[in-house]
Amino acid sequence: MTSTYHFDVLIIGSGVAGLSHALHLADHARVAVLSKTQLQEGASLYAQGGISVVLDQADSVQSHIDDTLLSGAGLCNEEAVRFTVEQARENIEWLIEQGVSFTKDGITSETYHLTQEGGHSHRRVIHAADATGREVETSLLAKAQAHPNIELFPYHISIDLITSRKQLGQDNNQCLGAYALDIKTDTPVSFIAPITVLATGGAGKVYLYTSNPDVSTGDGIAMGWRAGCRVANMEFIQFHPTCLYHPKAKSFLISEALRGEGAKLLLADGTQFMGEFHPQAELAPRDIVARAIDHEMKRLGDDCVYLDISHQSKEFIEEHFPTIHQRCLDFGIDMTQQPIPVVPAAHYTCGGLITDLHGQTDIAGLYAIGETAHTGLHGANRMASNSLLECIVFARSAADHIKQQLPLSTAIPVIPAWDASRVRPAREAISVSHNWDELRRFMWDYVGIVRSDERLYKAQRRLQLLQQEIADYYTQYRISSDLLELRNLAEIAELIISSALTRKESRGLHYTLDYPDLDESQPPQDTIIAGKS
Question: How many C-alpha atoms does 485 have within 13 Å on its Cβ side?
Answer: 24
Tell me how far apart the alpha carbons of residues 241 and 371 are, in angstroms, rounded to a whole number: 19
pLDDT of residue 144: 97
Structural domain count, the chain: 3
Instruction: Answer yes or no: is pLDDT of 286 > 90.
Output: no
* Mean pLDDT of the region 177-182: 97
Neighbour-count burial of 105, counting CB atoms closer than 10 A to its CB (0-12 exposed, 13-18 middle, 19+ buried): exposed
Output the domain CATH number for residue 439: 1.20.58.100
Q: Domain range for residue 315?
A: 240-346
pLDDT above 70 covers a percentage of the chain that reads 98
Residues 227 and 249 in one domain: no
pLDDT of residue 530: 97
Residues 341 and 354 in one domain: no
Residues 244 and 161 in one domain: no
> Active-site residue 455, yes or no?
no
Output the domain CATH number for residue 316: 3.90.700.10
Residues 385 and 478 in one domain: no
Mean pLDDT of the chain: 93
Residues 250 and 229 in one domain: no
CB distance 459 to 447 below 8 Å: yes
Q: What is the helix, strand, coil percentage profile of the chain, to 5? A: 40, 20, 45
Neighbours of 338 (CB within 10 A): 13
- For 272-404, strand residue ranges (E) read 305-308, 340-349, 352-354, 366-368, 373-374
State which of 403, 422, 438 marks the end of a domain. Answer: 403
- CA torsion, points 148, 46, 347, 282, in degrees to nearest 10? 130
Output the domain CATH number for residue 398: 3.50.50.60
Residues 88 and 55 in one domain: yes
Among the listed residues 226, 286, 291, 503, the single catalytic one is 286
Q: Is residue 284 in a domain?
A: yes
Q: Is residue 32 in a domain?
A: yes
Residues 292 and 359 in one domain: no
Residues in the chain: 533
More confident residue, 320 or 179: 179
Residues 78 and 178 in one domain: yes
Tell me how far apart the alpha carbons of residues 374 and 171 are, in angstroms, rounded to a whole number: 26
Residues 44-62: pLDDT tens digits?
887 878 999 999 999 999 9
Which CA distances in Å does 224 have to 31, 45, 128, 367, 533? 20, 24, 33, 9, 9
Residues 465-481: pLDDT tens digits?
999 999 988 888 888 99
Residues 141 and 211 in one domain: yes
Q: Is residue 521 in a domain?
A: no
